[in-house]
Structure 1
Amino acid sequence: MSNDDQQPPQRKRRRTDAYPSFRLSHTESYQGNFPVYKQPQEITSYSIDHERRVWFDNREMKYYYPATSDKKDLNVGYDKMIQRDESIPEHIDTLLDALTNANAKQPDDNQITADIVTWRGIMTKILCTPYSRREPWELRATKYNGTIYMEEQVTDKKKNSEDQASDRQKMMSYWGYRFETLCTVTKPPHEMTKKDPELQERLTASANTNIQYCILAKTKLGNNSIIMGAEVDCCRDVKPKDPLQQPSNYIELKTSRVIESERNQYSFDR
């Protein structure tokens, strides 16, 4: 082919379906002064029952009451566990419904608007990314009236991992739910007695992951105001009336493997 017949090189077309992304540097690059983080203030709370119906009240709120038996078998009830159907996308619908309900009760645009509205778990994913390089994630984000609404887009890798989970892995996932069952009750601790039937019933109880108690809280990280929705495991005692004191009354229950190495310790600290 002569030079006259040759076509000029064509510029590569930019993929329009590619997701925006950002580069990660070494963790040392993120050292420095932490931006000012404002004490979260609760906006509202709501319950989701065993049928995934939303109630704008505290009916599903649990209270922390330490396990009363030495026999804390986390395998008990696994065969009776009721698992939420994760194939049904719920997005951030309940979060937005709760904001709408809160504003209807007491109109205040400053209370229900922010630069970012999302789940607490999404903020955790973002902030822990430099330390969790083997845990990819994707997010959906929509900007509307100056607010960025974010939710998770489940990756194919995560879907495949969940679909291929072994019976042992599924059992280990259950342990966290079972631990919550052993350490919580449905009424304030000061109303409990050592012979309360609920204490005996929870020894053999299973878990229903459809049931949730969630709160919405507003905070500020640097110059960015954030409204975060979060599931709450339990409360220390009766819920304070002061919205600023409410978040400190909540307890996050976690299980962990026995720490036997520096790597185990690093994972736990992370």
Structure 2
Amino acid sequence: MFLLDLLRQIRWQDLLDIIIVSIISYRILLIIKGTKAAQMLAGLGILLIASFFSRYLQLYTIDWIIQSFWSQVVIVLIILFQPEIRRALAHMGESSFLQGFTSAEELKSLEEIVKVSVGLANRKIGALIVLERDVSLKDYVEIGTPLDAKVTKELLLSIFHPTSPIHDGAVVIRGNRVVAAGCFLPITLGADVSKTLGTRHRAGIGVTEETDAVAIIVSEETGTISVAIHGKLQTHIDMGTLRDILTDLFTESKKTVGVPKKSQDFLGRRGSENR
């Protein structure tokens, strides 16, 4: 009887409210899944549990410290989750829920990127190629040299040639266009990043920590190809594997959120080399 009375009191607006909150919560969890934000949320959960225990056990000093922290929690969350908040807002503002399929031109551009990566690796020419996905990279593009040119193997080889004045920076690619070269990217400050990695690899990891971009790094010392996705770096990528990763990301990402399952399985199976 009580349950029936409760159901009668539920309005259609209440159901709509619950559905909207559930969708927003689900998409937020997808955005922070596999990022440092997930670990930070776990830490906040531990603090919440500690707050309950401190009150129950009458540990007044600890309780005062924790309560002082909670009074500033909004500011703390904004500081801690700044990259994730920026990524989420950009994702909501720029991408639609129903995206189209990858065009033939974009698939052709991916093949050009694979070929140039292998060509640069064989010649031991260092390179950093960043492929934009849902989150805009315009902040980094504005720092570099604007190009807006079609993606071709010849163009990318000329950009990264040691005599080129913009070979040290990163190339940013959007769709089938090279939008800028000589771009400067944020350097990861992660303590778990291998000391053997240079600035180019750290920049590749850094930009993928703050955005959902894909970074391809070619080492000039070893001639190896590495791929960074969501702050995780996988090294010693061969031509076939690189083609599979890019095709998977830029076709499946039109239908799913985040990293497609095949790429997740690949990164999980091979492990992260930046740890």
TM-score, normalised via structure 2 length? 0.21
TM-score, normalised via structure 1 length? 0.22
More strand by share: 1
More helix by share: 2
Q: RCO higher in 1 or 2 (8 Å CA, sep ≥ 6)?
A: 1
